[in-house]
Amino acid sequence: MHRQSLVDYGKPLQATEAATPKPLGTEVLLRVSHCGVCHSDIHLQDGYFDLGGGQKLDVRGNRPMPFTLGHEIAGTVEAAGPDAKGVTQGKFYAAYPWIGCGKCGLCARGDEHMCNAPRALGVTVDGGYATHVLVPHPHYLLDVEGIAPGIAGALMCSGLTGYGAIKKAVPYLKFGPLLIVGLGGVGMMGLQFARALTDKPILAADIDKSKREAALKLGAAEAFDPAEAGARKAIMKASGGVGAAVDFAGSDKSLAFAHAVVAKGGAAIVVGLIGGSFTLPVPMFPLRALTIMGSYVGSTGEAREMLDLVKAGKVAPIPVETRPLAETSRSLDDLRAGKIVGRVVITP
């Protein structure tokens, strides 16, 4: 099998070859047809997250090198182990990548994406920037029939992240409307799922005018520029404070903005991973009955719920640019440099 692999942190990916794995037991071998290029691949390539103040969160772990990134995977079943039941040779699936150990309490209750001993495809075990990927069990193959193949894999990351965060926000909308901060790919997905999950008005905030306009087109009631001096006041005036602010940017600036417009009893939900640090006087938590929480992708159950919404036509088609496997490293560079509009999907 051909791969584009990380050979050292902070270095470009390189073409590597390996024997195509033979699936054993419940394993399934997918022939990768599409693998989305994702911002979190950049952090994994760097080996750290920026925590602000010059601090870094080391995410190098003990990945064996060469290591193959890529977690937004879709493909067809090429081979299956003798115990892999219910999979059809040649059928097209998306691979749920946030796989846990399968043995702990979190995994047992279906929250594998929060497992502390993960086997996440393209993060802790080899992923989809390759012609083939090994999936440990048919449970992680999700039916994406009727969904454009180019976005099926991306839905497992940006789609699921958007859906999982909005689902957490919904109970807080009794305190006010929803605010979505950061209308990149994930934020736009979140906005569309929000329209499916709530009748409350949805406000949007982004520093980019074109993104604000796109959000209004997709059904946001109002859009604000957080860089404008009066933006917080304008949101407070328009909403009386929001029930939930979902921060899809995840920077010190975006969270400072998002939490400040939350009504009493409401929540700020951090999703993005840009980085930075955040402080708030402790008494503000009780005085504002404020919740600040994080949301990280979603479970296989949530992935299935989300795919049902996509199949029901609740998400606008996403423009996708496909590129060959050899262009994976260049695509990560382009993403890092902010040169990618829409989505780039590798077609190995």
261/345 with CB nearer Zn ion: 345
Tokens of 31: 């022939």
Is residue 152 close enough to count as binding Zn ion by CB under 5 A? Answer: no
- Token pair 């419940």: residue: 26
> Helix H segments across 73-229?
105-108, 149-154, 160-169, 185-197, 209-217
Whether the Cβ atoms of residue 29 and residue 81 lie closer than 8 Å to each other = no
What token pair was written down for 327? 């262009």
The residue among 157, 142, 221 whose CA lies nearest residue 189 is 157
Rounded Cα–Cα distance for residues 180 and 166 (Å): 9
**Closest separation in Å from C-beta 70 to Zn ion:** 9
- By beta-carbon proximity to Zn ion, the closer residue of 157 and 315 is 157
Mask of contacts with Zn ion, 322-341, x by CB under 5 A?
Answer: --------------------
Looking at 15-23, 32-40, 199-207, 226-234, which segment touches Zn ion (CB under 5 A)?
Answer: 32-40
Measured from the CB atom, is 82 or 342 closer to Zn ion?
Answer: 342
Q: How far is the CB of 153 from Zn ion (least distance, A)?
A: 9
Question: End-to-end alpha-carbon separation of the chain, Å?
Answer: 10
Q: Which is nearer to Zn ion, 154 or 202 (CB)?
A: 154
Residue with tokens 């807080």: 172
Given a contact cutoff of 8 angstroms between Cβ atoms, the answer to whether 341 and 321 are in contact is no
243 binds Zn ion (CB under 5 A): no
User: Which candidate, 127, 98, 124, places its Cα nearest to that of 112?
Assistant: 98
Of 6, 115, 262, 274, the residue at the interface with Zn ion (CB under 5 A) is 115
Using the rule CB under 5 A, give the single segment among 33-41, 86-94, 189-197, 322-330 that binds Zn ion. 33-41
* Binding test (CB under 5 A) with Zn ion, winner from 94, 120, 155, 157: 157
Of 128 and 266, which CB lies nearer to Zn ion in the complex structure? 128
Using the minimum distance from each CB to Zn ion, give the nearer residue, 160 or 179.
160
Q: Does position 38 bind Zn ion by CB under 5 A?
A: yes
Q: Fill in the per-residue mask, 77 to 106: x = in contact with Zn ion (CB under 5 A), - = not in contact.
A: -----------------------xx--x--
169 and 178 in contact (C-beta within 8 Å)?
yes
At residue 188, what are phi and psi to the nearest 5 degrees?
A: -65, -40
108 is a site residue for Zn ion (CB under 5 A): no
Query: How far apart are CB 76 and Zn ion at their closest, in Å?
Result: 21
Q: Is 107 one of the binding residues for Zn ion (CB under 5 A)?
A: yes
State how far the Cα of 135 lies from the Cα of 265, in Å rounded to an integer: 42
> Residue 258, Cβ neighbours under 10 Å: how many?
29
Q: Which is nearer to Zn ion, 179 or 273 (CB)?
A: 273
Size of the site for Zn ion (CB under 5 A): 7
List contacts with Zn ion (CB under 5 A): 38, 100-101, 104, 107, 115, 157
